[in-house]
A and B are shown apart, each in its own frame.
Chain A
Amino acid sequence: AQKVTQAQTEISVVEKEDVTLDCVYETRDTTYYLFWYKQPPSGELVFLIRRNSFDEQNEISGRYSWNFQKSTSSFNFTITASQVVDSAVYFCALSELTGTASKLTFGTGTRLQVTL
């Protein structure tokens, strides 16, 4: 069975600090996708990024960057120069393609609190 572990329950930083959210996953699939979603207090899950298991090229998008390491089954997410608006719960998720369907397995989330 697939599993996603987000060991950090809650992180508090001061605005403009850099912060890294950790994600470790388990899967027997050779082809899979990893995702990061952000859940602000409103409750809606907002899609941030998707990576496939064949693409270990790390990416930077504005203040966000992602580090995917297949050898350690990790998919970490970094926010540079954090802002108060980044405060939210962040979920790492792993896709599983089962027959004619696909489902996401989520971690338990990391609550990020950014203060002034």
Chain B
Amino acid sequence: DAGVTQSPTHLIKTRGQQVTLRCSPKSGHDTVSWYQQALGQGPQFIFQYYEEEERQRGNFPDRFSGHQFPNYSSELNVNALLLGDSALYLCASSLYATSTDTQYFGPGTRLTVL
């Protein structure tokens, strides 16, 4: 049973560039959530996708956008990168967006902005 997968593992970008991170949910899951984890902090909720729609958004600017595909995989896009966007980006999947089903996390993508 495949768990949550994310790509790439590491990424280095410069300020002003754009980046796309990818996530495939655990088999059987239909809901994907994205979190940003700065060094030494707990993960912060970015947004959640279910049925290809953004259902809830955390306190992040519009530079952060996402997409969910019919196969439930998801992308996180960040435009106009800032130094402060350097973080571990975690994807989590769960079974239903309308329940408090357990969210299972992938290994993360570590983004470094220079």
Contacts and interface: CB of A to CB of B under 8 A. Distances in A.
Interface string A12-46: 00000000000000000000110101000011111
Nearest to B104: A47
Nearest to A91: B42
Nearest to A94: B100
6 contacts: A46-B105, A50-B102, A103-B45, A103-B48, A105-B45, A106-B44
A62 interface: no
Contact of B48 (A4, A52, A93, A102): A102
Contact of B105 (A45, A97, A100, A103): A45
B50 interface: yes
Contact of A102 (B42, B100, B108): B100
B102 A35 contact: yes
Interface of A: 4, 32-33, 35, 37, 42-47, 50, 52, 91, 93, 95, 97-109
Nearest to B41: A108
B41 A102 contact: no
A32 B100 CA distance: 8
Contacts of A101: 48, 50, 55-56, 97-98
Interface string B76-109: 0000000000001010101001111111111110
A43 B108 contact: yes
A104 B99 CA distance: 12
B42 A108 contact: yes
A44 B99 CA distance: 23
A104 B45 contact: yes
B16 interface: no
B81 to A, nearest CB: 20
Contact of A33 (B100, B105, B108): B100
